[in-house]
Amino acid sequence: MPQTPLHAEHARLGASFTDFGGWDMPVRYSSDLAEHEAVRTSAGLFDISHMAEIFVSGPQAASFLDYALVIQSSAIAVGKAKYALICNSQGGIIDDLIVYRLAEDQFLVIANAGNRHAVVEALKERATFQGFVGVEDRSDDFALLAVQGPTATQLLQKVVDIDLSQLPYYSIAQGKVSGVDAYLCRTGYTGEDGFEVLIPATAAVKIFNELLGLGITPCGLASRDTLRLEAGMPLYGHELNLETNPFQAGLGRVVKLDRDEDFVGKSAMAQLAEKSQDQVLVGLVGTGKRAARADYEIFSGEKSIGKVTSGALSPSLGYPVAMAYVSKDFAEVGDQVEVDIRGTRLAMTVVKLPFYKRSK
């Protein structure tokens, strides 16, 4: 299995490892709850160097991405970022991405680790069709660290040479972290404020240990999963896949159908936008301490109406939360359903996502 440049550091810190997206990744260092709590109350540090970094450069970069993705990348201002999807011609989701505009003619696309090759292949195929040659997969050149939590900006500022307070949410800037050139992205996957710091892979160990030295807690993928679930953020392979379309997943707002230019999947998604989806993604909350886990079946009476995609006992809220695809007839806020937990039914209520919002 591939390992990030920080694998030996994780082992030194006593991390447990798991297979995630085909990578050998740290799942926890101490306890899931302690790491979750650190991000909600102070700051946590995640190694997310398994993510893919794809640079799209050249005079036609913006128009190419307008064609390749469902968003209008040409409308992103320099220094800003946008959540995006790359879909196939039928409207199925290949991956969810973040697109950063570095300059008028240069973009950075960050994709999920397990979808790196699928995304690169799709972009290069679409580039060939468009006569565009500026797609470059540079994932192996970089390490990516996420510093997340209410004190993340304050602590990171101690080793950064630019004013982080001037960077709004979903923006990117270049600066130095402990003297190392870096991209500083004010984005994250926890529901908290913070930054994702993109640095050369060769500097990963130095910067990782510098950040730990600031008192930031190392965190594994288990806490990252409960944090993103509380924040109602989808995970590819759970809420999103090739069999789901943006409208089922509650991401119809991301698809820009009202622009004149064509993009891959536009005609299929125009039809999907007009069609009532049989199954839609909802949030569910319950009582007690039993969690509704992925793939647990959901019922209304004796009728099977869907399945859980992600679920946990929320560390921040103290009760079970889940995301699930259910029949549209049972998807209104306040609807009551039951989840089969190993033969026992747990009553749950449909709620609006997210489950948790940070205080400003």
- Per DSSP, the residues of 188-246 read -SSSS-EEEEEEEGGGHHHHHHHHHTTTPEE--HHHHHHHHHHTT---BTTTB-TT--T
Domain CATH code at residue 209 = 3.30.1360.120
User: What is the count of structural domains for the chain?
Assistant: 2
Q: Are residues 263 and 345 in the same domain?
A: no
Domain CATH code at residue 312 = 2.40.30.110
Q: Are residues 271 and 354 in the same domain?
A: no
Residue 96 phi/psi, 5° resolution?
A: -105, 145
Cα of 250 vs its chain's centroid, Å: 15
Average pLDDT value for residue range 323-345: 97
The pLDDT score that the predictor gives to residue 359 is: 82
Q: Tell the residue number behind the tokens 């033969």, with chain if given.
A: 343
The per-residue pLDDT of the chain, averaged, comes to: 97
Q: Are residues 170 and 188 in the same domain?
A: yes
Q: Are residues 239 and 313 in the same domain?
A: no
Q: Are residues 122 and 199 in the same domain?
A: yes
Q: What's the domain range around 148? A: 1-275
The residue out of 250, 275, 300 marking a domain boundary is: 275
156: left (phi over 0), alpha (psi -120 to 50) or beta: alpha
Question: Considering the entire predicted model, what is its pTM?
Answer: 0.97
pLDDT band with cut points at 50, 70 and 90 for residue 1: very high
R_g of the chain, CA atoms, integer Å: 20
Q: Are residues 309 and 217 in the same domain?
A: no
- Taking the C-alpha atoms of residue 86 and residue 239, their distance in angstroms, rounded to an integer, is 15
Q: How many CA atoms lie within 13 A of 4 on its CB side?
A: 32
The string of pLDDT tens digits covering residues 36-84 is 999 999 999 999 999 999 999 999 999 999 999 999 999 999 999 999 9
